[in-house]
Amino acid sequence: MIRIIFISMVFLILQVVPSLLLASNGQTGDTHYTQRESRKDHNDHDEEHRRVEEKDSEGNELTGQAAAWLLVSANLTVLFSLLVKGANRFLPLKPQTKSSIKAFNQFQKKYLMRFHFLLNPIALCVAFLHFLLSSCRISPLPEWGLLLVTMMVALGVVLKFKVAPGWLRRVIYRLHTTPATSSMVILLLVVGHLVVD
């Protein structure tokens, strides 16, 4: 699992660094210009470049915020379940406390998991709407994040409705529930939007 996280971090760095370098790349003045003229041309070019980037990178904030809140709401039960499992495994808790936490986790999964199944596809639809209403030429990371969210939702639908053979469902379950996959999705979305903003 550490290898997967390391590989995904390297992938992100290889995606982010060239985008940042291209975004900050300016044009230097010709050698026959004086230093003041060269600086003025450079500043004019930077201003023009910034205006073009802002025009090309307009995001629809309403749909973006709605998609983000829907995704967070849909996956709170999963996050809580992961925290509970981690606490049970790594914290020195009494057996009675562990069993109480486990019982509460089963209770919250029983009543909140339906929102996970309902809100994630809705969040994906809103995220697609956000993608269609926005334009970004600075970084491909948000698109990669959207692609991974789509993959995760599709895998969840396959698991929910059992539309794959048993052996394939086991593979899909492991891929859908592994923390490394979720971490990669979150990292791509967050870093991609930070680069764009």
Report which of residues 28 and 103 the model is more confident about. Answer: 103
| pLDDT value for 77 | 93
Q: Rounded to the nearest 5°, which phi and psi values hold at 37?
A: -65, -40
| pLDDT value for 179 | 85
| pLDDT value for 124 | 96
132-163 b/e with 16+ CB inside 10 Å = b?
eebebebbebbebbbebbeebbebbebbeeee
In the predicted structure, residue 26 carries a pLDDT above the cut 50: no
Residue 86 and residue 7: Cα distance in Å, rounded? 23
| pLDDT value for 14 | 53
Q: pLDDT tens across 177-195, in order? A: 988 888 888 888 888 888 8
| pLDDT value for 55 | 47
Mean per-residue pLDDT, 145-161: 94
| pLDDT value for 60 | 83
Residue 196 and residue 25: Cα distance in Å, rounded? 16
Q: Tell me the H-state helices in 57-164.
A: 61-90, 95-133, 141-161
Token couple for 187 = 């990292």
Neighbours of 60 (CB within 10 A): 16
In the predicted structure, residue 123 carries a pLDDT above the cut 60: yes
Residue among 183, 121, 129 at smallest CA distance from 156: 121
| pLDDT value for 82 | 87
Mean per-residue pLDDT, 49-74: 75
| Helices and strands (H and E) in the chain: how many | 7, 0
CA distances from 157 to 119, 120, 172 (A): 12, 10, 11
pLDDT level of residue 47 (50, 70, 90 thresholds): low
